[in-house]
Amino acid sequence: MSQGTVRQILLITDGCSNAGEDPVAMAAMAREEGLSVNVIGITNEGDESERGMEEITQIAQSGGGMSEVVYARQLSQTVQMVTKKAMTQTIHGVVNREIRQILGTKQEMEDLEPEKREELMEVVDELGETSNLDILILVDTSASMKTKLPRVQEALLDLSLSLRSREGENHFCLYSFPGKRSHVDKLVSWTPQLDSLKGAFKKLSSSGITPTGPAITEAIKVHMKRMKKGPSDNERLFIEETGI
């Protein structure tokens, strides 16, 4: 099981979607495909739009992931924490399914006595550390995000640093939405490490649309393609940066 891969979509946004399919439904679809969707909502101090924040929670819930709403300056620590916690949660879910298969009925880890739970938790922690992680990062680059993008960039480099400290392998890829011609643009293709994101967010769309739903749909496709094909041989060697 140490070869197992946890697949995540990490969505970073500051507001609610206004174009295309319902992102909550698309997140549910991602979950069906074995992915989990985590959402980080960035808010300005003193300006929290109820609707946007509500949507963030809902996307994460139906996507089987976690959500957190933070100020831009708290981004780094939150992004790595949410990612790691969501990983543990996914593995926890897998372990629970195994338990149900073995014990039948509706037993879960929480129904076991504390001592047994502790032993199982050790296994969960171990798997969290050693399993591989494929994480597709979807960054909202609509006009209102402009001032927050330097922080996003910093947080993503920090995430890479945190994950690199694990034993398991990591692969990242980075997409932004809305794209120039389509819903999403690829900024960085699958790479084991996010090294430099300088200039990655340079060319931003100034259109008023935020197609969160279509962006998640595209993210599912990218994940599925990678799952079928498996990692390519040369992906470790170079980072393709578009949009510069």
Partner 1 sequence: MKDSLSKKQAYNFTPGQVITGKWHGNKYRIIRILGEGAIGRVYLAQTGGRLVAVKVARQAMSVSSEVNVLRRVSKVQGLSLGPSFLDMDDVVTSHGTTSFYVMEFIQGQPFMPFVINKGSEWLGLFTAQLLGDLHKMHAGGWIFGDLKPENLLITKQPYQLRWIDPGGITKAGRSIKEYTEYFDRGYWGEGDRKAEPSYDLFAVAMLMVNRAYPSRFRKTSQKGTDYILEKVTGAPLLHPYFTVIKKGIEQKYEDAGQMKEDVLMALRNQKRAAVPSRLKRKAVLKKRNAPVNKTAGTPVTRERKGYLETVFFASFLLTIYILYLVG
Residues of this chain that bind partner 1 (CB under 8 A): 57, 66-69, 76-77, 81, 84, 88, 92, 109-110, 113-114, 117-118, 120-122, 124-125, 129, 158, 161-167
Q: Tell me how far, at minimum, the Cβ of 204 lies from partner 1, in Å.
A: 23
Q: How far is the CB of 120 from partner 1 (least distance, A)?
A: 7
Least distance (Å) between residue 57 CB and partner 1: 5
Nearer to partner 1 (CB atom), residue 106 or residue 181: 106
Q: How far is the CB of 207 from partner 1 (least distance, A)?
A: 30
In terms of CB distance, is 85 or 236 closer to partner 1? 85
Residue 147 or 207: the one with the smaller Cβ distance to partner 1 is 147
Cβ within 8 Å of residue 170, ≥6 positions away: 132, 133, 134, 135, 160, 163, 164, 192, 193
Based on CB atoms, which residue is closest to partner 1, 121 or 224?
121
CB of 20 to partner 1, least distance (A): 25
Buried b (16+ CB within 10 A) or exposed e, 15-29: bbbebbbbbbebbbb
Nearer Cβ to partner 1 (55/185): 55
